[in-house]
Structure 1
Amino acid sequence: MNAVERSIRQRIALEGPLTVAQLMQEALAGRGGYYRDNDPLGPEGDFVTAPEVSQMFGELIGLWCVDTWQRLGAPAKFHLVEIGPGRGTLMADALRAARVAPAFLAAKQLHLVEINAALRQQQAERLVDHTPIWHETLGSVPEGPMLLIANELFDALPIHQLVMTDDGWRERVVAENSSGLAFGVTAPSSAIGLLRPAHRNAKSGAVAEVSPAAIALIDAIARRLVRDNGAALIIDYGPAESGLGDSFQALKRHKFHLPLEALGEADLTAHVDFGALTDAAAEAGAQVFGPTAQGDFLRALGIELRANMLAQKADAATGEILHRQVHRLIAPEQMGRLFKVIGLAGPQLNIERAGGLAGL
């Protein structure tokens, strides 16, 4: 039993069963948690994100940032923010591509929202020329116009799982029995208030997933954009419209893992409810673009053209690698359909000038 699981069991003994959201928070972001003390990325880690697949992903995001900054009126000073920047790969690639616009680079102040000390060190090494400023939360980023990127962040935010029974909705919880940790159900928490109206009378056995943490974060981002001007790009995986189903899962060494085993040593994740995110952002006053399938978004930004240009300057083997990378990012059976992209902007952005916010 590792320290994280021991802490969780002690908490259950003192407080009673934990909701899935409480379990995720403890296992991922608590003391010694997965995202505080691990480097989960890459072939040697537990999963690979799009920036690790190809530098073209980050480069296109960088060009999107430049284009959006210009559509926002090219503010002389603005905050470039990434939440959950991993090893700094996406941002390093984005800022390298942004060298086509020196005024953009001169205007930006780079902010990284990161809780992992080891990853902060890697980010510092990759982004040394851009003097990043680190934060534990978005709330400490100073006021002012903002461009924000969040790639594969929302899938790791805690969710509540609600289960429809013959007695109505109940909340899935984690308790301890003679065999160890196990799932059970109890009376629902206040999270039941986030159920979509269409799901409230679901059939027995249905599972609904709601995330107050995701709603709170998207609301904070949207309100910040409305107040200070700016735009945000959110990339993650899940359905375009809200639905029912159990998507809670664990990943370890690129394979599915039992969620209640080796807590703190595996990634706990769930599909993002893009319908809930876009509704919350719109209610906060932001303009919302998308969701758009990642494959369509990257095609609109010119990833295939970029790959072909690079391949023409490379040998045959490198050209084949480039095309395999593009296939993984945009093919429907790979990351192209499951992953979605949404854009948010403050009301100051003229929707006619937004041009679909460049690809969305």
Structure 2
Amino acid sequence: MNDALSLDQQIDLQIRTSGPISVATYMGLCLTHPSKGYYRAADPLGANGDFITAPEISQMFGELIGFFLVNLWQQMNEPKAFTLLELGPGRGTLMADLLRAATRAPGFRDAMRLALFETSPPLMAEQKRNLAAYGPKWLENFDAFEDGPVLIVANEFFDALPIRQFIRKADGWHERQIGLVDGKRSFGLSPTAIPPGSMPDAVADAPTDTMLEVCFAGAEVMSRLAAIVARQGGAILALDYGYAATRTGDTLQGVRRHAFADVLEAPGETDLSAHVDFGALANVARAAGLAVEPLATQGQFLTRLGIGERAAALARANPGSAEEVRAAHDRLVGQEQMGELFKAFCAHSPGLAPAGFAP
């Protein structure tokens, strides 16, 4: 593509030249275009960005995950060398908070090798500043792990991976695509039906006009990471909005400046995401030989880890901030806020008993 053109122009040129593109191709261009993608251009986090993640709301989120990781490390008999990997670390806030708590455990810091997977240059610069004391290394892929167990954390990572969308019609399932109508981007359907056997059994009897979203990229990431954990030992913790079993419906959304936005407008300037099918990820992890905990809501997970007690301790230590601490607690675990919509997923080596999940 001609980099002198805006991303808007480049996408439209590709459609005119090669025909309609899939939703996955569109998401990939919008989010990770080498020079004009959303995660390449600027820091999207915080009040001045487009959205705020759980680690930015309160230190309690990261501290409890730090406890979660120490507990797993201790269950593995405190290996003298292990890799701690975060996928999409943002500004490094989550990692800084969790390590502040986790490194209080004798031996944890000396054993840890910190690895980060990030595609945003502005965010990588923030991570370097915030995590320099821990000597992080940035991975370009999931093929270069040192020996020893691997503990992986992914907060709001899988929701940003490209999805494909399929809609059922009388003659079968057709992929949803993005083309141009009167010069404007719009949704349409591929004229060629998908072979029926390629669709999940869960949607075999779906009525006409049902939409199914499939995240092949998420399955590929989970497959690679699960194979490593199965071989070397460890666990994968993912927190994101999503659902426990494959279901139908359109969850693709755009967010810009803390408000919902049209997904087809302002490519490269709008955050695009979709709900995570944790049931599909669980199937991939089990196929690799990992055990998978029953999916928990974020509220359940954090409450079981002791966020109520931590909030009370912070409020006692800082009476002037007690109301702020209470509001952060409620935002993280409240059913009407993040507590119900966001889920906690954990796949791990058989024999481990991750904290925060139902026995």
The equivalent position to 2:62 in structure 1, one of 36, 50, 58, is 58
Distance 2:197 2:38 in 1: 29
CA contact (8 A) 1:236 1:272 kept: yes
Cα displacement (A) at 1:3: 1.7
Change (3 A) 1:131 1:212: same
Please show how residues 317-332 of structure 1 align to structure 2 within 5 Å. 318-332=321-335
Is 2:316 aligned against 1:358?
A: no
Cα displacement (A) at 1:36: 1.7
CA contact (8 A) 1:290 1:341 kept: no
Is 2:19 aligned against 1:13?
A: no
Write the deviation string for residues 88-130 of structure 1: whole angstroms up to 9, x where unpaired: 0000000101132130111001000011111111101111110
Is 2:91 aligned against 1:94?
A: no
Secondary structure class of the residue paired with 1:359: coil
Cα displacement (A) at 1:221: 1.3
Query: Which residue of structure 2 lines up, in the alignment, with residue 269 of structure 1?
Result: 273
Report the RMSD for the aligned CA atoms in angstroms. Answer: 1.7
**When the two structures are aligned, how many residues end up with a matched partner?**
353
Q: What is the TM-score normalised by the length of structure 1? A: 0.94
CA contact (8 A) 1:239 1:273 kept: yes
Query: Which residue of structure 1 lines up, in the alignment, with residue 295 of structure 2?
Result: 291
Secondary structure class of the residue paired with 2:90: coil
Cα displacement (A) at 1:346: 2.1
Distance 1:96 1:242 in 2: 37
CA contact (8 A) 2:202 2:246 kept: no
Distance 2:278 2:176 in 1: 22
Structure 1 stretch displaced more, 103-112 or 139-148: 139-148
The equivalent position to 1:183 in structure 2, one of 174, 182, 187, is 187
Cα displacement (A) at 1:277: 0.9
CA contact (8 A) 1:47 1:254 kept: yes
The one-letter code sitting in structure 2 at the alignment partner of 1:66 is: V
CA contact (8 A) 2:171 2:193 kept: no
Greater fraction of residues in helix:
1
The one-letter code sitting in structure 2 at the alignment partner of 1:87 is: R
Is 2:46 aligned against 1:49?
A: no
Query: Which residue of structure 1 lines up, in the alignment, with residue 212 of structure 2?
Result: 208
Structure 1 stretch displaced more, 177-186 or 292-301: 177-186
CA contact (8 A) 1:88 1:126 kept: yes
Is 2:128 aligned against 1:131?
A: no
Q: Mind listing any 5+ residue stretches in structure 2 that lack a counterpart?
A: none
CA contact (8 A) 1:172 1:183 kept: yes
The equivalent position to 2:201 in structure 1, one of 191, 197, 202, is 197
Query: Which residue of structure 1 lines up, in the alignment, with residue 77 of structure 2?
Result: 73
CA contact (8 A) 1:111 1:141 kept: no
Is 2:359 aligned against 1:344?
A: no
The equivalent position to 1:333 in structure 2, one of 333, 336, 342, is 336
Write the deviation string for residues 107-159 of structure 1: whole angstroms up to 9, x where unpaired: 00100001111111110111111010012223334343100000000000010
Distance 2:198 2:57 in 1: 35
Distance 1:115 1:192 in 2: 36
The one-letter code sitting in structure 2 at the alignment partner of 1:174 is: I
Distance 1:214 1:197 in 2: 19
Distance 2:94 2:193 in 1: 37
The one-letter code sitting in structure 1 at the alignment partner of 2:62 is: G
CA contact (8 A) 2:173 2:193 kept: no
Write the deviation string for residues 244-282 of structure 1: whole angstroms up to 9, x where unpaired: 100011000111100000001001110000111111111
Change (3 A) 1:278 1:193: farther
Distance 1:180 1:128 in 2: 46
Secondary structure class of the residue paired with 1:92: helix
Query: Which residue of structure 2 lines up, in the alignment, with residue 251 of structure 1?
Result: 255
Secondary structure class of the residue paired with 1:87: coil
Cα displacement (A) at 1:214: 0.6
CA contact (8 A) 1:86 1:119 kept: yes
Query: Which residue of structure 2 lines up, in the alignment, with residue 231 of structure 1?
Result: 235
The one-letter code sitting in structure 2 at the alignment partner of 1:29 is: T
Distance 1:234 1:156 in 2: 13
Change (3 A) 1:286 1:6: same
Is 2:237 aligned against 1:240?
A: no
Structure 1 stretch displaced more, 70-79 or 250-259: 70-79
Calculate percent identity across the aligned residue pairs: 43
Distance 2:217 2:195 in 1: 10
CA contact (8 A) 1:287 1:346 kept: yes
Distance 1:276 1:145 in 2: 24
Distance 2:187 2:143 in 1: 34
Change (3 A) 1:60 1:185: same
The one-letter code sitting in structure 2 at the alignment partner of 1:57 is: F
4+ aligned runs moved over 4 Å, structure 1? 187-194
Structure 1 stretch displaced more, 148-157 or 184-193: 184-193
Is 2:304 aligned against 1:300?
A: yes
CA contact (8 A) 2:43 2:123 kept: yes
The one-letter code sitting in structure 1 at the alignment partner of 2:131 is: L
Change (3 A) 1:192 1:51: farther
The one-letter code sitting in structure 2 at the alignment partner of 1:19 is: S
Cα displacement (A) at 1:194: 6.0
Structure 1 stretch displaced more, 254-263 or 7-16: 7-16
